[in-house]
Amino acid sequence: MASSYDTTVVQGDTLKWAMFLKDQGGTAYNLTGCTLSMQVRKGYYPSSLVASYVSHVPEGTNGSNFTDGLIGGLSATATGGTIYISLGATYTGNFSSETTAKYDIQLVTPSGNNVTTILRGSLTILPEVTRI
């Protein structure tokens, strides 16, 4: 079962957060060889795609704290269980103000045999005042 995380962002801002995955024994999840995918849509089916990110986690990856703030992306530590998520300002600027969008993040195991939605939720987009 996916965890849920609802959050708020101002239109045109960069939204960043990190999550820590543990296995059933409480040990940091080994993400080596996994693929992370995230999509943000204006709603559930059918709804237009607003942002889409895919990241492969090669062996030895330490992950960067966060990727490009304008475009955004996903990054992870290979053996530390930490996933960094960044929804770029370019994408949050594409939303109408005072709207809610839906997102989820899926983890695909190295074999490709298992796909698990690890996080899902809603993004509330507030109107911006300053436009640069």
List C-alpha distances in Å: 73 to 26, 91, 108, 130. Answer: 27, 11, 16, 24
Which tokens hold the place of 85?
A: 């998520």
pLDDT at 72: 86
Mean pLDDT of 107-119: 94
Q: Is the pLDDT of residue 2 over 80?
A: yes
Q: Alpha-carbon distance 58 to 33, whole Å?
A: 5
Residue type, 60: G
For 56-105, write each residue's pLDDT tens digit. 998 877 766 566 678 888 889 888 899 999 999 988 888 877 889 999 99
DSSP state of 132: -
Residue 42 tokens, joined: 């204006």
pLDDT, one tens digit per residue, over 16-34 is 999 999 988 999 999 999 9
pLDDT of residue 108: 96
H helices present in the chain, as ranges: 89-92
pLDDT band at 44 (very low <50, low <70, confident <90, very high): confident
